[in-house]
């Protein structure tokens, strides 16, 4: 598609429940990035993929968070046993080339608002 599609737009989970978010990158883009936006403006990088391979996972919490990008499927970000502090907007972005190469223009989806109650 011509835009990054994220689903669902809103997700409500009770503490301890699992949450799974999906992202379809722009067609032809090889790189996918996940960011967490807490308290409206603080963006935190989580993980990036080059096709189905993890490219950079330095921002991923070691426990409870996992992500995948499989061929012919939307990418996914899964949070096991959600906590109150996981409440945030999760943005997915895609780009044609990797970061630091001079072509990294990231295109963002509209985000998934996760509320953990």
Partner 1 sequence: QKEVEQDPGPLSVPEGAIVSLNCTYSNSAFQYFMWYRQYSRKGPELLMYTYSSGNKEDGRFTAQVDKSSKYISLFIRDSQPSDSATYLCAMIQAGTALIFGKGTTLSVSS
Burial class (CB in 10 A: 0-12, 13-18, 19+), 104: middle
Angle, alpha carbons 110-60-65 (nearest 5°): 80
User: Per-residue string for binding with partner 1, 4-33, x by CB under 8 A?
Assistant: x----------------------------x
By CB under 8 A, residue 104 contacts partner 1: yes
Minimum distance from residue 31 beta carbon to partner 1 (Å): 11
Q: Which is nearer to partner 1, 76 or 97 (CB)?
A: 97
Query: SS3 of 20, please?
Result: strand
CA distance 111 to 84: 18
Q: Which is nearer to partner 1, 58 or 72 (CB)?
A: 58
User: Per-residue string for binding with partner 1, 39-68, x by CB under 8 A?
Assistant: -xxxx-x--x-------x-xx---------
| CA-to-CA separations, 15 to 12, 63, 81, 90, 102, in angstroms, rounded | 10, 15, 7, 17, 41
Q: Which is nearer to partner 1, 22 or 108 (CB)?
A: 108
Contacting positions for partner 1 (CB under 8 A): 4, 33, 35, 40-43, 45, 48, 56, 58-59, 91, 93, 98-102, 104-111
């Amino acid at each position: 598609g011509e835009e990054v599609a994220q689903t669902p737009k809103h997700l409500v989970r009770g503490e301890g429940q699992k949450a799974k978010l999906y992202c379809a990158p722009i067609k032809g883009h090889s790189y996918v990035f996940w960011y967490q936006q807490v308290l409206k403006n603080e963006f935190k990088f989580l993980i990036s993929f080059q096709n189905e391979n993890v490219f950079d996972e330095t921002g991923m919490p070691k426990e409870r968070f996992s992500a995948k990008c499989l061929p012919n499927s939307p990418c996914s970000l899964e949070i096991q046993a959600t906590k109150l502090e996981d409440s945030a907007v999760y943005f997915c972005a895609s780009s044609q080339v990797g970061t630091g190469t001079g072509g990294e223009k990231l295109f963002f989806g509209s985000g998934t608002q996760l509320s953990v109650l």
